[in-house]
Structure 1
């Protein structure tokens, strides 16, 4: 079972590398969307914490 997880991990890394090399614009859009979501979540958490302290 451990070998299967190891090979699946390698396959996932290979797929991501292939995607980045063949579709760089799409990959950049995915990263941009993900980072935008993280920034939005961080902003919302910041507002929540500030609201608690008032």
Structure 2
């Protein structure tokens, strides 16, 4: 349990450091993740619509 807590705090610290030191790159990473989610949702919607 202790290792999980240390890894969680380390991940949060890294994200905060990345956000404050390189905000443009952080925004690009978030935009890329959101584009991936949008593309996956669109593909799933097309798949379901073709089932009918």
**What is the TM-score when the length of structure 1 is the normalising length?**
0.91
Note the residue ranges of structure 1 that are not aligned, 5 or more in a row.
Answer: none
**Over alpha carbons, which structure has the higher Rg?**
1
RMSD across aligned C-alpha pairs, in angstroms? 0.6
Runs of 4+ residues over 3 Å off in structure 1: none
Note the residue ranges of structure 2 that are not aligned, 5 or more in a row.
Answer: none
Distance 2:8 2:34 in 1: 23
**What is the TM-score when the length of structure 2 is the normalising length?**
0.95
